[in-house]
A = this chain, B = another copy of it.
Amino acid sequence: MKKIYNFSAGPSTLPVEVLEKAQKEMLDYKNSGMSVMEMSHRSSLYDEIHNEAKEDLMKLMGLDEDYELLFLQGGGSTQFAMIPMNLLNKDDIASYLITGSWADKAYKEAKKFAKPEILASSKEDIYTYIPEIDESKMNEKSKFLYLCVNNTIYGTRISPEKIGKLNKPLVADISSNILSEKYDYNKFDLVFAGAQKNLGPAGVTIVALKKDLIKETREEIPTMLSYKTHADKNSLYNTPPCFAIYVTGLVAKWIKKMGGVEAMEEINKEKSKLLYDFIDNSSLYKNNVKLEDRSLMNIVFVTGDAELDAKFVKGAKEKGLENLKGHRTVGGMRASIYNAMPIEGVKALIDYMKDFERENR
């Protein structure tokens, strides 16, 4: 088997142990004679997978029974519509912090269903920092504040320290750093995450929301886009993406085994510090993000020369360091080092960066 390190921003690398377990159980889950893909979603065997994944995720997130955790489909892009459809009436105002193109997409989608407003934006500085979260500047009629906690494309994050307890409800996209470091998710009223970055395969979206937000939706909302539809049926209103939920559950168990979110945070801080320190001390590579807003998950860097960047990415691939090309909208390089990326991967990347710097001085 070819040995590589996969720095893809998503779908992204998964723990080898998880893949090995899924492989082993592929044709015969727990001596049932069935693959998880073949099981009725109404069977007790699948129920156990579904409920264990749900409970493990809620425990890892530190959420109690005031919250409901849903397994939905359609990715973050579907949440951009579901959030205003479920939480707002047509004339309601909500505040959006624009920290990147995903937050901007969420804001624009909300315009279809309500009256979102921009609280602050760092667009003019190509999203290289997180604007201040100043509740006093929010429209007092605003129904919630929407944040994207980690910005995959730009390599920024809103650190746990920056998220105080607000008076307004807090809604957040946590797709790319869920369970990577300790956040007090009880400060949030609704969080969502596409699994394919830090949690599992593409095809399942985790939504955790306060139960008091789950209400009958307006008549014109599609049944499948109502949180109540799914909450009332424990995410089994219709056939859920069973296999994606199963693998996500395996990842949750792997995180627990590794020592939980605290252990993930420790290793993620070590991994990102290694890489940021190397970049900061290098004369070739540069990271343009404001120090306190740097992401632990997605580390962006440039040489300042687009041709040299392309050469870097090509050479890296030849060394088995895959998917280091930055997002097409910003160029440069991006190393996504999610929970499942071992520290050896980061060290191998730094070794290559050193060699490349020496050869291209």
Q: Give the number of times this chain occurs in the complex, counting copies.
A: 2
Within 8 A of B (CB), among A310-324: 320, 322-323
Q: Is residue A150 contacting chain B, with contact meaning CB distance below 8 A?
A: no
Q: Are B223 and A33 in contact (CB under 8 A)?
A: no
CB-contacts of A207-236 with B (<8 A): 219-225
Question: B224–A40 contact, CB under 8 A?
Answer: no
Among B202, B222, B323, the residue within 8 A (CB) of A243 is B202
**Contact, CB under 8 Å: B32 / A81:** no
- A148 within 8 Å of B (CB atoms): no
Chain B residues in 8 Å Cβ range of A241: 73, 201-203, 241, 244
| Smallest CB separation, A70 vs chain B (Å) | 13
Bound CA–CA A11/B38 (angstroms)? 5
When distances are taken between beta carbons in the complex, the residues of chain B under 8 Å from A85 are: 222
Query: Which residues of chain A from 15 to 42 have a CB within 8 Å of any chain B CB?
Result: 16, 19-20, 22-23, 26-28, 31-35, 37-41
Contact with A225, one of B37, B75, B76, B222 (Cβ below 8 angstroms): B222
Say whether A239 contacts B194, CB under 8 Å. yes
Interface residues in A, total, Cβ within 8 A:
69
Which of the 9-residue segments A2-10, A139-147, A154-162, A181-189 touches chain B? A2-10
Some 25 contacts from A to B, beta carbons below 8 A apart, are: A2-B28, A2-B31, A2-B33, A6-B33, A8-B40, A9-B40, A10-B40, A11-B37, A11-B41, A14-B37, A16-B27, A19-B37, A22-B26, A40-B323, A73-B74, A73-B75, A73-B203, A74-B224, A75-B238, A76-B238, A81-B225, A113-B220, A202-B241, A202-B242, A222-B225
Q: How far is the CA of A245 from the CA of B320 in the complex (A)?
A: 26
Question: Which residues of B have CB within 8 Å of A53?
Answer: none
Chain B's closest residue to A323 (CB) is B40
User: Cβ of B223 and Cβ of A109 under 8 Å apart?
Assistant: yes
For A72-88 the 0/1 string (1 means CB < 8 A from B) is 01111110110001000
User: A33 CB to closest chain B CB, in angstroms?
Assistant: 4
Contact A19:B27 (CB < 8 A) given known A38-B6, A77-B237: yes
Find A202's partner among B41, B74, B220, B237 (CB 8 Å cutoff): B41
